[in-house]
A and B are shown apart, each in its own frame.
Chain A
Amino acid sequence: MKRYSAFAIAREALRQHKGWSHAWTSPEPRNSYDVVIVGAGGHGLATAYYLGRNFGITNVAVIEKGWLGGGNTGRNTTIIRSNYLQDPSAALYEKARSLFENLSQDLNYNIMFSPRGVMMLAQTEHEKRGYLRTERANALQGVQTRFIQPAEVKKLVPIINLDGPRYPVLGALWQPRGGTARHDAVAWGYARACSDMGMHIIEQCAVTGVESAGGQVTAVNTTKGTITCKKLGIVVAGHSGALADMAGFRLPVESVALQALVSEPIKPCMDVVVMANTVHGYMSQSDKGEMVIGGGADGFNNYTQRGSWHHVEETVRALVETFPMISRLKMLRQWGGIVDMTGDRSPIISKTPLGNCFINCGWGTGGFKATPGSGWAMAELIAKGEPGPLAREFSMTRFREGRFIDESVAAGVAH
């Protein structure tokens, strides 16, 4: 792999940029691998990367039915934060956030991590009390957050309207080291590093069946033939139900469409991320100048990857009251992704009824922020066959055992 650097740019500038090579290779699949990972989204690729980096396991294939990063990884609104309530979540999301801090250097790929600060508005007394509680919990967990008063909110976000008649701003939970990153670059950077370690990333290849014998997975059937493996990792987000069905078990997961939209690009006007959970909307400004707006999820099972106009209308109607200046903006585009929801709004990083098959799913509306931590924990689970400290609480049997990790407040809005 050629390293990217200022020197490399200068060198290539002198020879008409003819020396760049593909960031990752596109090999034909071999018949067999030590580890097969289904799904080349950020989480699947990060899993492969940390399998190689932390455990020296590189005989790995990542199989993707579409194009790399074309699932929720390439469809999310890129908010990164770790201000959750429960200890296991804080550990996992803060691990991920801290890995984001150095990820560009680690991968030698600019993932454009922008710790611009994330603000969660309190717009009802109830919400304010909730965030004061989260602030205390975060202090105990070592996650830096602070409850700020309306005047400070206004200073950080001059375009905000504090005293909307329906939704006055009573303060906010502020995480100064939260922010955003370039979602595609996260997938591309991991893919490049995996490819460099000799792993195979096989795009345009759908897994259509899982073969097992004696309670162990033996192979996966794909549109490019059967591939045997010693261990299987399923990391397919909204399609987890379909893969679990192939492997012969059911999950406490339901798939729904979540959507987002962007406005036409405008001059810089807001340099933090603002989430307004009461009105179910959130907003940030991309480097291109578009206002990136996310809204609610459908309430019913849905695999259409489209979204619906009434959700757009509800989200924008509510946000206009808090940000009056957006009322004249034109919408540029709108899209949807299929997210995998669990009952307690926490993910699953778990062993399965098949001994050598592991699953990572249930990130629902908020897994982009967790990408590096999720990959780290999943790699440990696959390598050792047992969960490490990060994954331990997130097993799929927690529902049966009544050990919910309730993040319905922290994940109250889809993000």
Chain B
Amino acid sequence: MLTLTCPCCGVTAEETEFSPGGEAHLKRFGPGSSDQEYEAYMFNRKNPRGVHFERWRHAYGCGKWFLAARCTMTLEVFGTYAAQTLEPPAEIVAKIKDRHPGWEGYS
């Protein structure tokens, strides 16, 4: 079972209290972009085995969106942070590198 801590209200709860919202930090492409860029934004996903960044909503709690860094192979959560963050915060990156020295970093 996956356990997450909501950075908005501070509650730690199991996954049934949250709704998953897919890959985080997607770069948005709209009108004027190429077909390839739009396709990549709309459909193509990293889907990594290992470190992943994703959006979650505290659906049965405060209702707020936030972001989480998580390992998709172990369900270990490295940390959660505000939804209004453009890329993973340094302290979370450091924590991931500590646990997975071979990790290539966020790109």
| Binary A-proximity of B1-16 (CB < 8 A = 1, otherwise 0) | 1100000000000111
- Residue on B nearest A400 in the bound complex, by CB: B39
**Contact B49–A303 (Cβ < 8 Å):** yes
What is the bound-complex CA distance between A310 and B17, given in angstroms?
11
**Contact B1–A251 (Cβ < 8 Å):** no
- The bracket for how many chain A residues form the interface is 20 to 34
**Contact A241–B39 (Cβ < 8 Å):** no
**Contact A304–B75 (Cβ < 8 Å):** yes
- Residue on A nearest B39 in the bound complex, by CB: A400
Contacting residues, chain A, for B84 (C-beta < 8 A): none
Q: Quick check: is A67 within 8 A (CB to CB) of the other chain?
A: no
What is the bound-complex CA distance between A254 and B45, given in angstroms?
7
**Contact B1–A301 (Cβ < 8 Å):** no
**Contact A301–B54 (Cβ < 8 Å):** yes
**Contact B45–A400 (Cβ < 8 Å):** no
| Binary B-proximity of A111-127 (CB < 8 A = 1, otherwise 0) | 00000000000000000
Q: Which of B20, B42, B46, B48 contacts A299 (CB 8 A)?
A: B20
What is the bound-complex CA distance between A303 and B75, given in angstroms?
9
**Contact A241–B45 (Cβ < 8 Å):** yes
| Most chain A CB within a 10 A radius of its CB, from B40, B42, B44 | B44
Q: Which of A241, A308, A309, A399 contacts B48 (CB 8 A)?
A: A241
| Binary A-proximity of B31-46 (CB < 8 A = 1, otherwise 0) | 0000110111011111
| Binary B-proximity of A211-245 (CB < 8 A = 1, otherwise 0) | 00000000000000000000000000001111001
**Contact B42–A251 (Cβ < 8 Å):** no
Name the distance in Å between B33's Cβ and chain A's nearest Cβ.
12
Name the distance in Å between A272's Cβ and chain B's nearest Cβ.
32
Contacting residues, chain B, for A239 (C-beta < 8 A): 49
Name the distance in Å between B68's Cβ and chain A's nearest Cβ.
9
Report whether over half of chain A's contact residues are helix, strand or loop; otherwise say mixed.
Answer: mixed
**Contact A250–B49 (Cβ < 8 Å):** no
Contacting residues, chain B, for A7 (C-beta < 8 A): none
- Residue on B nearest A244 in the bound complex, by CB: B47
Contacting residues, chain A, for B15 (C-beta < 8 A): 300, 308, 310
Contacting residues, chain A, for B47 (C-beta < 8 A): 240-241, 251, 253-255, 301
Name the distance in Å between B44's Cβ and chain A's nearest Cβ.
4
- Residue on A nearest B48 in the bound complex, by CB: A241
Name the distance in Å between B13's Cβ and chain A's nearest Cβ.
12
Q: Which of A240, A250, A298, A400 contacts B46 (CB 8 A)?
A: A250
Contacting residues, chain B, for A385 (C-beta < 8 A): none
Contacting residues, chain A, for B43 (C-beta < 8 A): 252, 343, 399-400
**Contact A400–B36 (Cβ < 8 Å):** yes
Name the distance in Å between B66's Cβ and chain A's nearest Cβ.
14
Contacting residues, chain B, for A251 (C-beta < 8 A): 44-45, 47
Q: Quick check: is B72 within 8 A (CB to CB) of the other chain?
A: yes
**Contact A300–B20 (Cβ < 8 Å):** yes
Q: Which residues of A contact B (CB under 8 A)?
A: 239-242, 245, 250-255, 298-304, 308-310, 343, 399-400
Q: Which residues of B contact A (CB under 8 A)?
A: 1-2, 14-16, 19-20, 22, 35-36, 38-40, 42-49, 52, 54, 72-75
Known: A250-B40, A254-B22. 6 other contacts (CB 8 A): A239-B49, A250-B44, A252-B43, A255-B47, A301-B72, A309-B1
Q: Name 8 interchain pairs, CB-CB below 8 A, sorted by A.
A: A241-B49, A250-B44, A252-B43, A254-B47, A255-B47, A301-B47, A304-B74, A399-B42
Closest 9 CB pairs of A and B: A241-B47, A252-B43, A300-B20, A250-B44, A400-B39, A299-B20, A399-B43, A303-B73, A301-B72
